Structures are given as structure tokens and as C-alpha cells.
Amino acid sequence: MSAHPTNGAARDDSAGHDRRTVLSGVLFGAGIAASIIDLFVFHLGLQWHHFYDLSTTQVALAADGVFHAVGWFVTVWGLFLLADVRRRTEVSWPRWVGAVVAGVGGFQLLDGVLNHKILGIHQIRYGVDLLVYDVVWIGTAVVALVVGLVLLRRARPARPGASRSA
């Protein structure tokens, strides 16, 4: 977890910093999707989601509680990991942004498939034909995930040894 940089291990450090940049972005992206986007867009803004639709099984309710708690924790943790990378080295912002987009898409995909369809914790909206909502939700999640992965790939650091062989 805490790999302390030493002057002789610059190459390992830069790989570690890159891993930590990506981890930070993915955690932060998944976290804001789970906590902030869900709360402000779907609960408070559109008011599509209900606080609790009273039709959930107890297992699903417990799973929802864990999702909720982990969502907030990884939002906070992702930001502190970013601060940690920043105090050790230059942050590759394109790489971090790619990881955030992939994290948002990955969480929305998980939410759309696991929470909405398999566990049935809650639906996207009530009193409407859900199919079109589910298709749009899962479709945008897949698009965000793919865009994030492409951004991540384009911002890949130069292969170790090529730039640091001196």
C-alpha cells in the first residue's frame, strides 16, 4: 500500500504512481456515480428515484446500504489518493480523467444491471414503461465505460525502458 519512493527505484515508482492515478480516478468516478450523481440527479433533481419503494427484499436493502456506504467512502478515498499522487509526482490529468469516466460508466453499468434488474433494489422511474429507460441507462453506461477506456489507453504512459533507459 505505502511504497515509499527511494532514489534508486524511479521506474517502479512511476509505474506505482500511474497505478495509483488510475485507481484514484476509477474510485472517484464510481463514487460520484454512486453517491453524488444518484443523489442530485435522480433523487433530488428529476425525482425519479424514490427514497425507498417499499418493495425491496431485506437482502437487497442491505446490499443497497453497503453500496451507499462504499460509494461515499471511495469518493473520499479517490480524492485523497489523487492528492497523494500529486505530492509525489506530476499527475497525468488525461489519464486520471479517463479513469474517472471509466469509473462512472462501470458503476452505472453495475447499477443498471445488478441493482435495477437482478437485485431489484429500485427502478429508474416508476409508472412508466421501463424498457426504454433501461436501454438508455445501460447504453449510456457502456458508452461512458468505452470512452473512459479509450481515453485511458490514449493517455498511457510511455513504456518503461523506452523513455527512462538513460
Q: Which residues bind another protein (CB under 8 A)?
A: 1-2, 4-7, 51-52, 54, 61-62, 64-66, 68-70, 72-73, 76-77, 80, 83-84, 86-90
Q: 98 near 151, Cβ under 8 Å? A: yes
Residue 64 or 134: the one with the smaller Cβ distance to another protein is 64
Residue 61 or 146: the one with the smaller Cβ distance to another protein is 61
Residue 112: name the closest of 86, 131, 98 by CA. 131
Residue 77 or 138: the one with the smaller Cβ distance to another protein is 77
- The distance of closest approach from Cβ of residue 29 to another protein in the complex, given in angstroms and rounded to an integer, is 17
- The distance of closest approach from Cβ of residue 71 to another protein in the complex, given in angstroms and rounded to an integer, is 10
- The distance of closest approach from Cβ of residue 52 to another protein in the complex, given in angstroms and rounded to an integer, is 4
- The distance of closest approach from Cβ of residue 53 to another protein in the complex, given in angstroms and rounded to an integer, is 10
Residue 61 or 136: the one with the smaller Cβ distance to another protein is 61
Instruction: Return the SS3 of 16.
Output: helix
